[in-house]
């Protein structure tokens, strides 16, 4: 299994990094969130869009789901294929309205199948609700012997059981200011490190983040040593 960070940035694409999306390429091929830049990043690594099997959207903010109309367009008119898309309530209406307004050609339901989060998947899958300004889900996926948790956007939540011992915790770290992070439903990198420590995860990978200087990175690693601050298109296995 190979995990590629198609983007590691926040909603503002800080440092020129794309908004966060994660590709899991193994016995099952999964996209976690579909940012507006996700298709571009997939093209940069020469990854065929119709290789994807499942897309999980954490919440319906544009930096996490804004690439869905482009995904639909590609599957309908360039690389024909079908894909299952899952996420919060309102997902179907989101795709219908955005695709209709952006392109308005063809029936998007011919290539996208909405799959409820409570349905069965051909891999181990769990979800829980995060704490954000709108409904947000945190996902746990296990394939090819690796267990992954991805938070989407959330203020600090207890993941000590949900993420216990996972191989990778991909946790947002959108703000250094704790009060501001809490106000807008986000987490600081220090809080994310505390969460990783409590859950005894193997690796903490900070995504959906602005620029953190070396001093900040060192402070985070004092809380949880095995913390990563990756750039776009970095990979893990």
* Structure confidence by residue, pLDDT tens digits, 154-184: 999 999 999 999 999 999 999 999 999 999 9
The average confidence (pLDDT) of the chain is: 96
Strand order in the sheet with 83-86: 112-114, 83-86, 54-56, 29-32, 21-25, 2-7, 235-236
Of 170, 195, 202, 201, which Cα lies nearest the Cα of 6? 170
What is the rounded CA–CA span in Å between residue 37 and residue 34?
Answer: 8
3-state secondary structure of 147: strand
Interval 208-227: pLDDT, tens: 999 999 999 999 999 999 99
Q: Tell me how far CA of residue 38 lies from CA of 23, 203, 233, in angstroms.
A: 9, 24, 11
pLDDT score of 160? 97
Q: Tell me how far CA of residue 141 lies from CA of 54, 113, 148, 153, 167, in angstroms.
A: 12, 20, 5, 17, 11
Q: Which residue do the tokens 């590709």 mark?
A: 23
pTM, to two decimals: 0.97
Binning the chain into helix, strand and coil, the percentages to the nearest 5 are 30, 25, 45
Residues 6+ apart with CB under 8 A from 108: 72, 76, 95, 96, 99
Q: Tell me 229's DSSP state.
A: -
What is the set of domains in the chain, with CATH numbers? 2-236 (3.60.15.10)
3-state secondary structure of 21: strand
Bridge partners, residue 140, by sequence: 126, 149
What is the CA 91 to chain-centroid distance, rounded? Answer: 15
Neighbours of 7 (CB within 10 A): 26
- Tell me the pLDDT of the chain (237 aa) as tens digits: 999 999 999 999 989 999 999 999 999 999 999 999 999 999 999 999 999 999 999 999 999 999 999 999 999 999 889 999 999 999 999 999 999 899 877 789 999 999 999 999 999 999 999 999 999 999 999 999 999 999 999 999 999 999 999 999 999 999 999 999 999 999 999 999 999 999 999 999 999 999 999 999 999 999 999 999 999 999 999
């Amino acid at each position: 299994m190979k995990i590629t960070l198609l983007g590691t940035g926040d909603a503002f694409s800080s440092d020129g990094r794309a908004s966060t999306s994660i590709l899991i390429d193994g016995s099952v091929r999964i996209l976690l969130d579909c940012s507006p830049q996700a298709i571009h990043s997939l093209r940069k690594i020469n990854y065929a869009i119709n290789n994807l099997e499942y897309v999980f959207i954490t919440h319906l903010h544009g930096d996490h789901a804004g690439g869905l109309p482009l995904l639909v367009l590609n599957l309908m008119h360039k690389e024909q294929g079908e894909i299952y898309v899952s996420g919060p309530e309102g997902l179907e209406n989101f795709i219908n309205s955005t695709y209709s307004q952006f392109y308005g050609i063809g029936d998007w339901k011919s290539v996208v199948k909405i799959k409820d989060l409570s349905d069965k998947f051909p891999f181990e899958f769990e979800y829980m609700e995060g704490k954000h300004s709108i409904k947000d889900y945190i996902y746990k996926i296990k394939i090819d012997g690796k267990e992954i948790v991805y938070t989407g956007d959330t203020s600090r939540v207890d993941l000590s059981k949900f993420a216990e011992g996972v191989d990778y915790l991909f946790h947002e770290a959108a703000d250094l200011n704790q009060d501001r992070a809490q106000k807008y439903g986000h987490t600081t990198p220090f809080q994310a490190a505390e969460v990783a420590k409590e859950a005894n995860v193997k690796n903490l990978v900070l995504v959906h983040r602005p620029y953190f200087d070396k001093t900040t990175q060192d402070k985070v690693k004092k809380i949880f040593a095995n913390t990563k601050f990756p750039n776009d298109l970095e990979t893990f296995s």
